[in-house]
Chains A and B, each alone.
Chain A
Amino acid sequence: MRRVASAVLVLWGAVTVTFLALHLIPGSIVDAIIGQSRVTPEIRAQIIQDYSLDKPLWQQYLGYLGRLLHGDLGHSYNQGVAVSTALEQQAGSTFALLLGGVAFALVGSVVVAVATANRPRWIRGPAATAEVVSVAVPSFWLGILLLTVFSFRLHWFPAIGANGFNGLVLPSIALGLAPAAMLSQVLRQGLERVLEEPFIITARARGLRSAAVLLRHALRHAVLPVVTLTGWLVGAFVSGAVVIESVFSRQGLGHLTVGAISQRDFPLVAAIVLISALVYVVVNLAVDALYPLLDPRLRKAPEVVR
């Protein structure tokens, strides 16, 4: 319950941040809301009424909170539709990309970590170097490199703006590589620590093969430190998706965000910031809920872990 309360607090804070941001924009607030589009005086009056701009600041703030609580994210005057409609149209594409990136990062990091944990230096060394380099490579450059090699030279994958599974492969790799490298570093460290524990020796003494020990016993423990990275990972994936959609000219929320900023479409930008804060909070809550399932030691006394 405490976690839910603090999650609600964080969301409320994020809403406040976007409200303050709107009021920090130089010039009139109505102009900030309509962005670069042109509207009739009637619509201007309507905006002033909708946002209670003729009322004191605290009433504007309460009105803003109230509308968000009813699921009203406002209207994008550049797009000519409600913000929620614009988001719904683009969410699917971004969701597919995020799913692809997360899947690549999870599978890739587990495979690399399991294959290289406790191995001789000539295996671990290059893997560790590759991981450090992978974290340093900017995702948009990786995307360009993948496009150049696999789309334009080898023609294995469609180049730009393609949807469907084939169009998802390269963007997912570009999005997932840096998180994968980060994860496999943490996983390998975790695995190597766990493999020294007595229960692993017991398992081996029972005659389990190395692979079985790694996958059935050690991996479960090695995953635990990853949980502390959840926040970083959500940020990395959401931020990455914005850039990757631009590289691959994909439709999606990131594409929408960049367009919204250059057209100064503030309601849309604010809504996307709020949605990503919501995603962050929900993922963190979900991970908190899953944590005891991974680690039975925490089931009886969940308050000990904080």
Chain B
Amino acid sequence: MRSRPGVVLSFVFLFVLALAAIWPHLFSATDPNAADIQSTLSPPSGQHWFGTDQNGRDIYARVVTGVRLSLLIGVTASALALIAGSAIGVLAAQGGRVLNTVVNRLLDIFLSIPGLLLVLLVIAVLGPGVRNSIIGLALVTTPGYARVVRGEVIRIRGAAYLEAAKALGWSRPQIVLRHLVPNALGPVLVLATIGIGAAISIGSSLSFLGLGPQAPTAEWGAMLSSSRDYFTVAWWPAIFPGLAITATVLAITVAGQFLQLRVEGRSQA
């Protein structure tokens, strides 16, 4: 636990992000889409903390508003992948040798296509937009969860503490709740936590490429994309949304690694 301050800071930041996602008005009362032709591309000031963009919209308000969409994309994609991956993983582990091999090969195939390209293939089929980005991101990350769940189920199946619990006369629901779920879920939830960060990152690249949420939605990647037309004259539209993505992904990664240490510590004990 060398990095305690970093871990605490990350959890605090994630808490703040969650608040901003639920009640953006706590952090900014300004309308993120209110254009002000009088003050386009004005630098950061007391009135506009992060400055304004090419339409005179307040960048701070847009960054705050963007929290909800980024977290929504990250959390939904990870949750979908977690559910689908767990189902596939359990099926592979419990379904006998043939099914196990078939599922493994299928996972190999999906893992052979680079993540972003698989998402792009999904978008080529379904068209751009938030919902299709989430579907694509979930599809890309599902094989990872399936692998881990399959491994966990196989590992736990033979564990001595299950035998011990049975011998002690524990009921089946007790065993499942007290042993199976915590032990199998831990590593998967850690993966899901870190996966949220990855999904937010890839999701923002998609909107940067113009394939995610469409204008005028306040989304970090899309804001960075439009900032490119002005960054010879204004640096602030290109800085703050990027900082927001980096800080979010960083906080999620640090928190995830902390949880990973906790989970690994328990399964070794």
Contact = CB atoms under 8 A, between A and B. Distances in A.
A132 B3 CA distance: 12
A148 B116 CA distance: 25
Interface SS of A by simple majority: helix
A273 B113 contact: yes
A141 B209 contact: no
Given A231-B111, A235-B114, A141 B224 contact: yes
B41 to A, nearest CB: 15
B116 A243 contact: yes
Contacts of B232: 152
B6 to A, nearest CB: 8
A125 B5 CA distance: 13
B238 to A, nearest CB: 5
Interface in A260-288: 260-262, 264, 266, 269-270, 272-273, 276-277, 280-281
A14 B121 CA distance: 12
A136 B250 contact: yes
A9 interface: yes
A17 B241 CA distance: 35
A242 B120 contact: yes
Nearest to A15: B109
Contacts of B201: 136, 138
A92 to B, nearest CB: 19
A72 B124 CA distance: 21
Interface stretch (A18-26, A81-89, A99-107, A209-217): A18-26
A263 to B, nearest CB: 10
Given A138-B204, A144-B227, A264-B124, A258 B109 contact: no
Contact of A261 (B114, B211, B224, B227): B211
Given A9-B105, A25-B125, A145-B238, A239 B231 contact: no
Given A13-B105, A141-B224, A257-B117, A262 B211 contact: yes
B68 to A, nearest CB: 19
Size bracket of the B interface = 35 or more
B117 A272 contact: yes
A10 interface: yes
Given A141-B224, A152-B231, A277-B113, A136 B121 contact: no
Interface SS of B by simple majority: helix
Interface in B95-128: 105-106, 108-118, 120-125, 128
B205 interface: yes
Contact of B242 (A10, A141, A243): A141
A21 B117 contact: no
Nearest to A12: B109
B253 A132 contact: yes
Contacts of A262: 128, 210-211
Interface residues of A, number: 53
Contacts of B242: 137-138, 141, 144-145
B224 A144 contact: yes
Contacts of A139: 205
Interface in A1-54: 6, 9-11, 13-14, 16-18, 21, 24-25
A145 B6 CA distance: 25
Contacts of A21: 121-122, 124-125
A208 interface: no
B214 to A, nearest CB: 12
A3 B108 CA distance: 12
B109 A17 contact: yes
Contacts of A6: 105, 108
Contacts of A125: 2
Interface string B236-269: 0011011001100110011000000000000000
B208 interface: yes
Given A144-B227, A242-B117, A281 B123 contact: no
Closest 9 pairs (CB-CB, A-B): A13-B109, A239-B116, A141-B242, A136-B250, A235-B114, A238-B114, A136-B249, A269-B124, A280-B112
13 contacts: A6-B108, A13-B105, A13-B112, A135-B253, A141-B245, A144-B227, A147-B231, A235-B114, A242-B116, A258-B210, A261-B123, A273-B121, A277-B112
Interface of B: 2, 6, 105-106, 108-118, 120-125, 128, 197, 201-202, 204-205, 208-211, 221, 224, 227-228, 231-232, 235, 238-239, 241-242, 245-246, 249-250, 253-254
Interface of A: 6, 9-11, 13-14, 16-18, 21, 24-25, 125, 129, 132-133, 135-141, 144-145, 147-148, 152, 231, 234-236, 238-239, 242-243, 246-247, 257-258, 260-262, 264, 266, 269-270, 272-273, 276-277, 280-281
